[in-house]
Amino acid sequence: MILIHPPVAKPCEPPAGLARLSGALRRHNIKHELLDANLEALLYFINNPKLQTAKPSDKWTARAFRNILKNYALLKDRKTYHSIDRYKRAVIDLNRAVEMSVDNGFTYGIADFHHQELSPLRSRDLLRSAEHPGQNPFYPYFKERLSGLVRKNNPFAIGFSLNYLSQALCTFAMAGFLKKEFPALKIVLGGGLVTSWMKNPNWKNPFSGLADYIVAGPGEHQLLSILGAKNIKTDHFTPYYNSLPLNEYLSPGLILPYSASSGCQWNKCTFCPEKAEANPYIPTTENQAVMDINELIAKTNPVMVHLLDNGVSTALLKKLAGSPLNIPRYGFARISNLLTDKDFCIALKKSGCVMLKLGLESGDQGVLDQMQKGINLETASLALTTLRNAGIASYVYLLFGTPAETLTEARKTLEFVINHKDAIGFLNLAIFNMPVYGPETEKFKTSSFYEGDLSLYTDFSHPKGWDRKQVRRFLDNEFKKNKAVSEILKKDPPVFTSNHAPFFVQ
Determine contact, residues 224/24, Cβ cutoff 8 Å. Answer: yes
The per-residue pLDDT for range 214-240, each reduced to its tens digit, is 999 888 999 999 999 888 877 789 999
The per-residue pLDDT for range 410-438, each reduced to its tens digit, is 999 999 999 999 999 999 999 999 888 87
The burial of 465, by beta-carbon neighbours within 10 Å (0-12 exposed, 13-18 middle, 19 or more buried), is given as: exposed
CA atoms of 432 and 264, how far apart (whole Å) = 19
Q: What is the structure's pLDDT at 51?
A: 76
Determine contact, residues 62/56, Cβ cutoff 8 Å. Answer: yes
CA atoms of 107 and 105, how far apart (whole Å) = 7
| 162 CB-near residues (< 8 Å, 6+ apart) | 6, 168, 171, 189, 190, 191, 192, 193, 194
Q: Is the pLDDT of residue 505 over 80?
A: yes
Determine contact, residues 143/41, Cβ cutoff 8 Å. Answer: no
Instruction: Give the side-chain half-sphere CA count within 13 A for 444.
Output: 24
Domain ranges of the chain: 2-48+115-226, 255-504
Q: What is the structure's pLDDT at 450?
A: 63
pTM summary value: 0.95
The per-residue pLDDT for range 252-308, each reduced to its tens digit, is 999 999 999 988 888 888 888 777 777 888 899 999 999 999 999 999 999 999 999
CA atoms of 328 and 295, how far apart (whole Å) = 16
Bridge partner list, 353: 329
**What kind of fold does domain 2-48+115-226 have according to CATH?**
Rossmann fold (3.40.50)
Burial 209-247 (b: 16+ CB within 10 A, else e): ebbbbbbbbbbbbbbbebbebeeeeeeebbbbbebbebe
Q: What is the structure's pLDDT at 17?
A: 95
Helix (H) or strand (E) holding 136, with range, is none
| SS3 category, 284 | coil
Of the chain, the percentage scoring pLDDT greater than 70 comes to 99
Of residues 128, 59, 130, the one with CA closest to residue 93: 59
The class (CATH top level) of 255-504 is alpha beta
The per-residue pLDDT for range 182-195, each reduced to its tens digit, is 999 999 999 999 99
- Phi-psi region for residue 379, left (φ > 0), alpha (ψ -120 to 50) or beta? alpha
Mean pLDDT of 54-70: 90
Mean of all residue pLDDT scores within the chain: 94
